[in-house]
Amino acid sequence: MDRKQELAFEKFVAESGDDLLRLATLLMSDRGLGEDLYQETLHRLAARWSRVDSPRAYCRQVMHNIVIDQVRARQRQVPEIRLAEAYDNSDPRADDPASAAELRPALLAALRTLTPQQRTIVVLRYFDDRSENGATLESAWSSPGEFDEDLYLSTTYSNTIPADPYQG
């Protein structure tokens, strides 16, 4: 790139840089990832500057291609279970680290299937050892009947989820 092209590139970045950064941030839904996308886009534009007729259109296309490539790469990745999330040694009932690590993903998946109220009931009742009839649990609901119904529905539904996370 000669000096004239460098000046033209710098002028383009000065004029369009904020708009491109905003676009990149919105595409990535994260400021840091948006800045990375913006930087990669400018790097690719600089490498082809002399052959690009419409720099804005080229940048939009590059950003689009990078985002699509990243989504496809994430889809191909095998989901990972981080050990820090898989084993909670602060729980005194988790005597066996191996079985706790195996059951934790199934437990979290089962809890995600419940409504927020049902999840609250199950967690408070069975993991925080709160009484079924305790004021702490019932205070979150407008009536004791509504609480009893949600407790019944949440425990009935959670019993349909297989204990083994690897079964269908």
The pLDDT profile of the chain, 168 residues, written as one tens digit per residue, is: 789 999 999 999 999 999 999 999 888 888 899 999 999 999 999 999 999 999 999 999 999 999 989 888 888 887 765 554 545 555 555 566 666 666 667 777 787 787 776 777 777 666 666 665 554 444 554 455 665 666 666 655 545 545 444 444
CB 59 within 8 A of CB 15: no
CATH number, domain with residue 111? 1.10.10
pLDDT at 167: 46
CB 63 within 8 A of CB 41: yes
Residue 109 lies in a domain: yes
Q: CA separation (Å) from 126 to 27, 53, 65, 100, 155?
A: 41, 64, 48, 16, 10
Residue 168 lies in a domain: no
**How many CA atoms within 13 Å lie on the side-chain side of 74?**
5
Residue 90 lies in a domain: yes
Q: CA separation (Å) from 38 to 11, 22, 120?
A: 16, 9, 42
Mark which of 29, 57, 76 sits at the end of a domain: 76
Residue 70 lies in a domain: yes
Q: Specify the pTM.
A: 0.48
Give the other-Cβ count within 10 Å of 165's Cβ. 16
- For residues 103 and 50, membership in a common domain is answered with no
Phi, psi of 87 (to 5 degrees): -125, 120
pLDDT at 14: 96
Mark which of 57, 76, 95 sits at the end of a domain: 76
CA distance 134 to 142: 14
pLDDT at 128: 61
**Distance spanning both ends of the chain, measured CA to CA:** 58
CB 117 within 8 A of CB 150: yes
pLDDT at 80: 64
Both structure tokens of 126: 């069975």
